[in-house]
Amino acid sequence: MDDALRAHEAERLRVRRQLAGTPADAPTVGLAMSGGGIRSATFCLGLLRGLAQRGQLTRIDYLSTVSGGGYMGAMFGRLVTAVGIVRAQELLARHDSPVLAWLRRNGRYLTPSGSRDLGIAVVSYLRAFFAIHGEFMIVCLPFALFVMAPHIWQATTGARFGFAQWQSWQVLWWPAALGLWLLLAPGLMAGYWVARDTADPGRRRVLMPLRDLVFVALLGLALVLVWAAARPPLPGLQAPLTVPALVLVAISSCAIGMVGAQLRLRFSDDTRSLAVARLRNRLTHALRLVALVAAAMLLFGALDRASWWLLESLASGDPWVWGGVGFGGAVVLLMRALAQPLLQLSQRTQPSSLKAWVPRLVNLLGLVGVAMLVCSWLVLAQLLVFHPQPFAGLEAFGPGARAVMLLALCAVWIGLSAGNEQMANASSLHSFYRARLTRAYLAVGNTGRPIARAAAAVPAGLDAEAARQARRQHHDLLDVTAVVEGDDTGLTSYRPEAAGGPIHLINTCLNQTRDDASGLFNADRKGTLVTASWYGFEVGAEQVVPVPVQPVEGAAGKDTGTLGRWIAVSGAAAAPGAGAYTSRGWALLLYFLGVRLGYWLRSPQPASITGLRRWLWRHAIKPVMLWSEGTATYFGATRPWWYLSDGGHFENTAVYALLKRRLDFMILADCGADADYEFGDLENLVRKARIDLGAEIEFYTRQDAARLFTLAGASLTVLSPEDMADNHSSRGVLLARIRYGAHGGLPAAEGTLLVIKPNLHDALDVDLLAYAQRRPGFPHETTGDQSFDEAQWESYHRLGEDFGRELHPAWLSQIPGWTRHERHPPIVAARLRGQGAAPEAVTRDPLWKRSARATVVGASLGLGASGTLLISLWQVQEALLASQKSEREEVRRLFSDSSKAFGEIEGTCPRITEQDSTRLQQLQTVQGAGSLAPIERDGIGRLLKRVAADDCPVRLQACSQDPLRHTWRTLCANLERSAGPRSAGAFDYWAPPRAAGIGVADLVGHALALLQGGPMPPASGARAQAAAAAALVLPAMADANGEDAAAVLADLQLPAIGRIVEHCPRGAEAASLNIRAYDEPMRELARRLRDPLLVPAAQALTVPSAENVTTTALVQGTRRPVPWPQATLLVRRSDRERQPACIDALQSYLTITLTGLRRVPTEVWLRELPDDPLQRSRVFELWLPPTPGWGAPIGA
């Protein structure tokens, strides 16, 4: 605290004391009201009223507040400013004053009018929630496109990845991370190991030791031997990451690292010791960078894979996904409600207790939550880029073009809004919070409202209409939801000391998680105290920034804001920046829950930054602010904007600002939630006072206080801190001696601290004790409860008033520092945390404690409910086990019958029954069921492989002239389904570029053409083919029904079938068409597609019966493939290149037939899949979309 501020406040105190009638030479007295939300505010109101009833408010020189204490501190200051200290004391002392009535009515200050205000609160929260998530989406989509870059590159450029080699990796980020690590990390580590000191640290240019030369030679020999033995291809798009190739890369890296390190040391001009130290430092930093990049690539791969899996599950209709979304929404609402209690719980933990894990769990929860959110936006980006038809009109654009459009939209938004400096505050809940506090508490001092100054509702002498208008206006002025001019006031004009009141000091926390100079993480306080008054801002223990009359170059100058703003900031407990309790997970959690009460204040002093940082804080201020909040990255007072939050994040008692002024006597209302009386806030105060201010705080023991002071009357008892939890015989307070050290030219001195902590005693009112019995947490209920009902409000208010009324002059005058300057007698300091009373010392429970019988009954009910739940879970488990057992027995029977039937067949062309064929196909369907043991699945797989690989080729050849050939051919075609291009559905992971999709170059060309008034891009090939088929089929079938329609369609199909027979190979080169449907109506449609091909095209195309993939997935216990939005024909790339005419003919037949059956133009998309040497070629696959999304065939 500098001399200018000290002199200024001395003059203001002289004027104040003249107005209040306080002797000029009286000791300085301060009142500190701690944080604690509405709980603290209500208790402090009662304390103020009790002091007013004793006439003690005129004795208060300083009023220091934090958080909830600031609600009542600002109310008191505004009231004094409006009516003067004498009148304010009179109004607070009366039980029927309009001020008390107003405050009691608005105990639910966030929703004072019930459901209407609750709706306003909900929409305010939703507005902030959607704003922050909209901004995050804009930032996250470019990141998502970067994660998807390998797939976009593959889909856009047609890069020929080796499908079989890379498919097992799922994502390319993982092999890339492995390759990067083996390419660089071994060399960096080997270079570190060979950089050795010498016996003479001053030597220069030391030769490479012989052992290192031998080791390098051995590495070279190993390299040659591995290459000669395996000759592995180097990793690339076609060659996989084989073990020999990875060994070659690692050995080469080691050799290069060793040689490079020795060459660096050999040609360095530094001494050997200095050169080794510098080289090791560089190698360590480089290894750290490589590790971070590799870890980031692994994370990108994990996000990519998880989001792709989630997208497939979502698109395939898995019910658990929507259940998970609902559950996630419930978790979000729960975390929103518990945000402040969780912060409070994390602040009260002790390392030895289970609660010590709460901050870590909250931190982990935040990190997991943001990972899930990023994954969700990745799902959206992949849907927009890779879905065949995310919405109408976008199917014509390829993945590359879609990615460019998304990137352009994000860039436009960022470019237009990056400089919006008010967005961070406007998208938070600060405005809502400030408005509620202003109208509920600060409006008491608004002379325009009839609260502090009584005014008649209808002045005399008015006619009826004027009286009605006056009555309506009077009602509006008494409406807490109405915005009335004068409810708030500027901070520079808020001077209650000018009316005889105290100097009000408002305490907030300036968050700082990065050091000003080095950028290192500040692991302890993570913030400093900012105390605001009309004179200026005090930053930390020493720095004072006075409010300038003229703007300062590079600073805001007059951006001091209003009193309401500072009270709201002082109470911004739920904020991503939380001082010493800040963690990245906690910041992310609150950030994405939309619980942001902190405030960005323009710095009142010039910022000391240059270059890129200066440019970012000027022209990209919005993303910088939001990034800082989300990642908990704050730089304190060195940036052009300060992030402020609840003053309790630094020091919650509000005594710190009074200690800086070295007051003689201080009264503290310690209202933090401290049901166990652990005195965490006082402990923090004592520590910071000693470190920052050189002040020692020593608490009296109960015995010392009773011995040294008479303390007339038994209404208040000075207790030792460890006695507070077990006291219930009288009102308990704490008393401490403050020893100020010599500082800043001031001599050593002493002061007194009187701590009033809410606690119960037997002499309290009966309604208050009854409330305490119903609410065991009283008077330290959670700060998260910010909406008090009448009983709760009155109980806290009455408890505070009970303490305040007992602080009469006779009691206070015996304590040093109240009426005279004097030193304390020698004492033995009490412990803040000590052993509680021994069990045998407790004689009886207080009146408000819950009875043992009620506890036993509650425990019995809990055990009964738990037992019922366990029995229900056991019954469900038994039912599942019985179902799995029945399923396995049925599979064993099928397997036994099929093995017997196909093991006993003899002859070159044996007969097989339809029943045997059906059994084998059923085995094929249930092969992947999760209820089967691995040995059972292997047995089924061997049987199917033997029949498909050994029997089918022989029997088909032998039965070529036999009528039984059709039975064998159908069976073998059904078994070959697994050999086809078994796609995951519409989101095939290795999907190539869309054949008819508009690429990036096309997108630019069409955009330029449209700007010049050119035509729209042409329709895709499938769309044009569907239009041609509709023109051919629909007029011919317009008036046909029933058998006539079937006959007309058959005539139209004949030319297309003829082209299939003409262009498709026959015999051993004949192709197969597997039809996949998602439901039975589509399976019936597949039958009508298949039947016309069975006889005419039997030699060129085999078409097994259609498969219902939904049923197959249900039987196998797997997820069904993602539905295609249109009928889609999948072919291998090599088949497309070798048989283009055959595939075009098949696509034409399918388009004509589907158009005729559905009586609407129907597109048949053609998609290529990469070749897989493990699966047979010439196997095509037709996917029919589900009925609800496509519609059933007309006339089916």
Domain ranges for the chain: 1-112+494-850, 170-302, 880-979, 1021-1190
The Cα–Cα gap between 439 and 800 comes to 23
Tokens 């898995």 locate to: 318
What pLDDT was estimated at residue 52?
A: 96
Q: Does residue 753 register a pLDDT over 50?
A: yes
Residue type, 254: C
The Cα–Cα gap between 1154 and 1034 comes to 11
What pLDDT was estimated at residue 636?
A: 86
What pLDDT was estimated at residue 83?
A: 92
Mean pLDDT, rounded, for 529-533: 94
The Cα–Cα gap between 812 and 252 comes to 83
The Cα–Cα gap between 687 and 1164 comes to 76
- Please name which of 691, 659, 296 lies closest in space to residue 507, comparing C-alpha atoms: 659
Lowest mean pLDDT among 623-632, 661-670, 723-732, 860-869: 860-869
What pLDDT was estimated at residue 968?
A: 65
* Coil/strand/helix, residue 271: coil
Mean pLDDT, rounded, for 351-362: 61
The Cα–Cα gap between 1056 and 1047 comes to 15
The Cα–Cα gap between 659 and 665 comes to 10
For residues 265 and 182, the model is more confident at: 182
**Distance, first Cα to last Cα, the chain:** 89
Q: Does residue 838 register a pLDDT over 50?
A: no
Lowest mean pLDDT among 11-20, 167-176, 876-885, 1183-1192: 876-885
What pLDDT was estimated at residue 960?
A: 58
The Cα–Cα gap between 494 and 384 comes to 55
What pLDDT was estimated at residue 904?
A: 63
User: What is the total residue count of the chain?
Assistant: 1196
- In the numeric block, which tokens belong to residue 848? 């408000």
**Cis before 779? omega within 30:** yes
Query: Who's near 317: CB < 8 A, 6+ residues apart?
Result: 1120, 1123
The Cα-based distances of 53 to 39, 87, 117, 242, 1080 in angstroms read 22, 12, 35, 86, 84
The Cα–Cα gap between 572 and 508 comes to 9
What is the Cα Rg of the chain in Å? 40
- Please name which of 949, 917, 930, 948 lies closest in space to residue 891, comparing C-alpha atoms: 930
Q: Does residue 630 register a pLDDT over 60?
A: yes
Helix (H) / strand (E) containing 646: strand 641-646
The Cα–Cα gap between 876 and 869 comes to 11
The Cα–Cα gap between 592 and 624 comes to 16
| pLDDT tens digit sequence for 400-411 | 888 898 999 999
| pLDDT tens digit sequence for 1011-1062 | 555 444 444 566 677 778 778 877 877 777 767 778 888 888 888 888 888 8
* Coil/strand/helix, residue 1064: coil
- In the numeric block, which tokens belong to residue 1122? 């993602």
For residues 1038 and 838, the model is more confident at: 1038
Mean pLDDT, rounded, for 153-172: 63
| pLDDT tens digit sequence for 679-690 | 999 999 999 999
Fold for domain 1-112+494-850? Answer: Cytosolic phospholipase A2 catalytic domain (3.40.1090)
The Cα–Cα gap between 1038 and 1048 comes to 10
Mean pLDDT, rounded, for 416-420: 90
**Is 718 within 8 Å of 705 (Cβ atoms)?**
yes
Q: Give the whole-number percent of the chain exceeding pLDDT 90.
A: 25
The Cα–Cα gap between 501 and 76 comes to 9
Q: Does residue 841 register a pLDDT over 50?
A: no
Q: Whole-number mean pLDDT of the chain? A: 79
**Is 1185 within 8 Å of 1082 (Cβ atoms)?**
yes
* Three-state secondary structure readout of 27-81: CCEEEEECCCHHHHHHHHHHHHHHHHHCCCHHHCCEEEEECHHHHHHHHHHHHHH
Mean pLDDT, rounded, for 924-936: 64
The Cα–Cα gap between 759 and 271 comes to 69
Which alpha helices (H) appear in 1107-1167, and where do they start and end?
A: 1109-1116, 1133-1138, 1140-1158
Q: Does residue 8 register a pLDDT over 50?
A: yes
Mean pLDDT, rounded, for 726-733: 81
The Cα–Cα gap between 911 and 133 comes to 66
Query: Who's near 507: CB < 8 A, 6+ residues apart?
Result: 64, 65, 66, 529, 530, 531, 532, 570, 647, 650, 651, 654, 656, 657
What pLDDT was estimated at residue 853?
A: 47
Residue 182 pairs with which residues in a beta bridge? none
**Is 1129 within 8 Å of 1165 (Cβ atoms)?**
yes
The Cα–Cα gap between 64 and 54 comes to 21
Q: How confident is the model at residue 319 (pLDDT cuts 50, 70, 90)?
A: low
- In the numeric block, which tokens belong to residue 1182? 């037709």
β 62-66/503-511 pair status = parallel
The Cα–Cα gap between 218 and 225 comes to 10
The Cα–Cα gap between 74 and 70 comes to 6
Query: Who's near 1136: CB < 8 A, 6+ residues apart?
Result: 1143, 1168
Mean pLDDT, rounded, for 891-919: 68
Helix/strand number for the chain, H first, E second = 41, 19
Q: Does residue 467 register a pLDDT over 60?
A: no
Q: What is the DSSP string of 150-206?
A: HHHHHHHH-----HHHHGGGSSTHHHHHHHHHHHHHHHHHHHHHH----SSTT--SP
3-state helix, strand, coil in the chain (%, to 5): 55, 10, 35
The Cα-based distances of 430 to 219, 425, 754, 827 in angstroms read 64, 7, 34, 46
